[in-house]
Chains A and B, each alone.
Chain A
Amino acid sequence: MALDSNPVFSVRIEKTDLKKFSHVALLALLSVAVIWALIEMVVHFRELMILFVLSALLTYLLDPVVTFLETKGLGRTLATLLIFLILGIFVAWGVYILLPKLTGQVNAIGKNLQNGSMKGVFSNWDTFLREKLAFLGSPETVQNIIDKIRTALVQFQEGLFKLALSLFSALSDLAIIPFITFFLIKDGPAMKKALIKAVPNRYFEMSLNLIHKTDRQLGHYIRGQMIDAFLVGVLSIIALYILDINYYFFIGSIAGLANMIPYFGPIVGAVPAIVVSLTQNSSLTPVIWIAVAFTIIQLIDNVLISPIVVARSVEIHPLLVVVVILIGGQLMGILGMLIAVPAASILIVIVKEIIFGFKNYRILG
């Protein structure tokens, strides 16, 4: 007799299936609720989320240093305090040395926009473009193109100035970041433990694995990306200084930061330098040199820096990378674009671990 022809057995199968189905449905519902809550939080508490994201980035960067000091016999609190003291001295020194340079360059952009010194540049450009675009024939068409380029250049410089100003005005908000970071480093392990405590026994071991792997993956990615951005930033500053481009320090720093955005980053980094060079000189030669310098920096980054420092990160399909960067940009602007790939890599690790959990743990009863 077939097993399912036995009424008692078939009822048992149906009950088990129903139980499993209800578990899956509950998990799916919970996942949707968590994702929805996260998106709502990003939308409604954007500024707060940005502060927490930046604090988390700093925590991942500093945690290995605290761990190193712990191996030397220091307690976690004392090690964290020491790191903050050293960091405070470095920041104060950096502000003292670098801030005047940075503010000087930002002010210069502002003055250029206000006193109309750009006009001289534009008149040179007018002549240059009129000669080069003469093949178009109609003077109206040439004038139209020149006007459009002029508007785009002014808008770009204004955008650069506004970005710099917004960065300075954000400094007051940023003052809270060290406080959040301090407690994330000092009490991070205890927070993780408290989170795990709330997990039901059935998902306990799987959740431990999940948190551990996500944490490790994210740590590798963030530390790698930050070291990479720093090195690319330094190389860009040196290259722009050698090429005698105005605001080299500010533009080089942007190039370093932008490098954290895959595919779009290097272009975003090079465009400000090219635009500033175009407004600075009427010749195309510096533009070519900038392109060569940024290409060489990208080569050094792709061949030498990235393989060493950005190791063990999740492999994501290039198309998915582009899509998540665009979504990140829509939700949180530039910062969204910066955190899109690590956020996607966390989601991939979570999905992989949940699938691993379904296969290896009896979480469905």
Chain B
Amino acid sequence: MHPIWSNIFKEAKNQSEDLYQILSNVPIFTGLSRRELKEFIRICHKRTYQQGEVVFWKGEPGVGMYIVQKGKVAVFAGEDPQNPEIVFATLSEGDFLGELALLDDTPRSASVVALEPSKLIGIFRPDLFSLFERKPGLGVKMLSKLAQLVGERLKFTNDALEECRQKGNT
């Protein structure tokens, strides 16, 4: 094969391998076979953000989740991404955000900004539902993982609430 073509194919293969590595470490995709992950890779949208560029704003309709492939993003409250009122979390490679938007289109609960040049992978509800329609078994596996994650977060929130109540009583 001509070096130009072999380089192009090598790059495409490397990109796919990168995506496989990243997805397999995201909790909602753990335990899925390589073939099953390939189905998700097909519906992934790769986006590049400049430093200071807003990924989404609080209140916008949620369309899907993002996984940080490279760089760093901050989840914040406030109108100015340069001077946020509160920074809830800073997320880096392998972290994910906005996963609840995979279930419905409730507005985003916080805004997200890229703290440095970042690459994000977007997975979106319409694509995901279309995939589930074609591969229902895959849908069951992924949604049960998502339910597990949401359940764990609810449990964590309940514990934190209980702790606050107890602190309030004392």
Cβ–Cβ contact A193 & B134, under 8 A: no
Cβ–Cβ contact B134 & A209, under 8 A: no
Question: How many interface residues does B have (CB within 8 Å)?
Answer: 26
**Interface window among B6-14, B24-32, B54-62, B140-148:** B54-62
CB of A360 within 8 A of chain B?
Answer: yes
* Docked pose: A201 CA to B53 CA in angstroms: 9
CB of B78 within 8 A of chain A?
Answer: no
* Given A193-B45, A204-B47, also A209-B60 (CB < 8 A): no
CB of A189 within 8 A of chain B?
Answer: yes
Q: How far is the CB of A204 from chain B (nearest CB, A)?
A: 7
* Docked pose: A323 CA to B107 CA in angstroms: 38
Cβ–Cβ contact A205 & B133, under 8 A: no
CB of A111 within 8 A of chain B?
Answer: no
CB of B153 within 8 A of chain A?
Answer: no
CB of B155 within 8 A of chain A?
Answer: no
* Docked pose: A361 CA to B54 CA in angstroms: 12
CB of A196 within 8 A of chain B?
Answer: yes
Cβ–Cβ contact B134 & A196, under 8 A: no
* Docked pose: A362 CA to B57 CA in angstroms: 7
CB of A212 within 8 A of chain B?
Answer: yes
* Given A71-B133, A360-B60, also A208-B42 (CB < 8 A): no
Q: How far is the CB of B73 from chain A (nearest CB, A)?
A: 12
* Given A71-B133, A204-B47, A208-B124, also A189-B60 (CB < 8 A): no
Kindly report which residue of chain B lies nearest to residue A204, judged by CB atoms: B47
A-side contacts of B57, CB under 8 Å:
361-362
Proximity string of chain B (106-138) to chain A, C-beta cutoff 8 Å, 1 when within and 0 when not: 010000000000000010101100100111100
Kindly report which residue of chain A lies nearest to residue B62, judged by CB atoms: A205
Question: How many interface residues does A have (CB within 8 Å)?
Answer: 17
Cβ–Cβ contact B49 & A205, under 8 A: no
* Given A70-B135, A209-B63, also A189-B45 (CB < 8 A): no
CB of A280 within 8 A of chain B?
Answer: no
* Docked pose: A117 CA to B54 CA in angstroms: 77
Kindly report which residue of chain A lies nearest to residue B126, judged by CB atoms: A212
A-side contacts of B136, CB under 8 Å:
71
Chain A, 167-221, CB within 8 A of any chain B CB: 189-190, 193, 196-197, 201, 204-205, 208-209, 212
Cβ–Cβ contact B133 & A360, under 8 A: no
Kindly report which residue of chain B lies nearest to residue A71, judged by CB atoms: B134
A-side contacts of B46, CB under 8 Å:
197
A-side contacts of B56, CB under 8 Å:
205
Q: How far is the CB of B130 from chain A (nearest CB, A)?
A: 8
Chain A, 330-365, CB within 8 A of any chain B CB: 360-362
CB of A157 within 8 A of chain B?
Answer: no
* Docked pose: A205 CA to B120 CA in angstroms: 13
7 new A-B contacts, CB < 8 A, other than A360-B107, A361-B57, are A71-B136, A201-B47, A201-B49, A204-B122, A208-B63, A208-B124, A362-B54
Interface residues of B (CB under 8 A from A): 42-43, 45-47, 49, 53-57, 59-61, 63-64, 107, 122, 124, 126-127, 130, 133-136
